[in-house]
């Protein structure tokens, strides 16, 4: 199996570059775009026998989902009870 140097990017949206009625014209459009190193290109066939050339940029920095902040409420009942007990004990015994 051939390994690619760039891992596949998942979740990024594809934009439609052009639409063609024949596969050969779509292939020539794909080949003209595939020379760019920061661009992924694919051909998508639709049920009405049309072909779309779709592109998306790669190599952009992927932002990770933000972690839950400490001020956010706990999701579980046990977590809510523990938070309530911490607040209660802090009110009774301030340091």
pLDDT value for 36 = 77
The whole-angstrom separation of Cα 53 and Cα 18 is: 5
In a domain, 28, yes or no: yes
At residue 16, the 3 state secondary structure works out as strand
Which residues, given as ranges, of the chain have pLDDT below 50?
Answer: none
At residue 33, the 3 state secondary structure works out as helix
pLDDT value for 83 = 87
Residue 20's closest CA among 9, 38, 8, 32?
32
Count of domains in the chain?
1
In a domain, 62, yes or no: no
pLDDT value for 24 = 92
Beta bridge partners of 16: 54
pLDDT value for 25 = 92
In a domain, 84, yes or no: no
Is this structure's pTM higher than 0.75? Answer: no
pLDDT value for 26 = 92
The whole-angstrom separation of Cα 63 and Cα 76 is: 27
Q: Is residue 30 within 8 Å of 53, Cβ to Cβ?
A: yes
Q: Is residue 68 within 8 Å of 83, Cβ to Cβ?
A: no
**Chain segment 24-43, per-residue pLDDT in tens:** 999 998 888 877 778 888 89
In a domain, 6, yes or no: no
In a domain, 30, yes or no: yes
Question: Can you give the residue range of the structural domain that contains 52?
Answer: 15-57
Read off the tokens for 90. Answer: 């802090």
Beta bridge partners of 39: 57
């Amino acid at each position: 199996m051939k390994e690619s140097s760039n891992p596949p990017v998942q979740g990024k949206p594809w934009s439609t570059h052009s639409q063609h009625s024949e596969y050969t014209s779509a292939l020539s459009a794909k080949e003209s775009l595939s020379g760019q190193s920061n661009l992924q290109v694919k051909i998508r066939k639709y049920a009405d026998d049309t072909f779309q050339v779709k592109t998306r940029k790669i190599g952009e920095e992927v932002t990770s989902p933000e972690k839950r902040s400490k001020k956010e409420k706990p999701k579980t009942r046990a977590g809510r009870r523990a938070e309530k007990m911490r607040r209660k004990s802090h009110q009774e015994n301030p340091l």
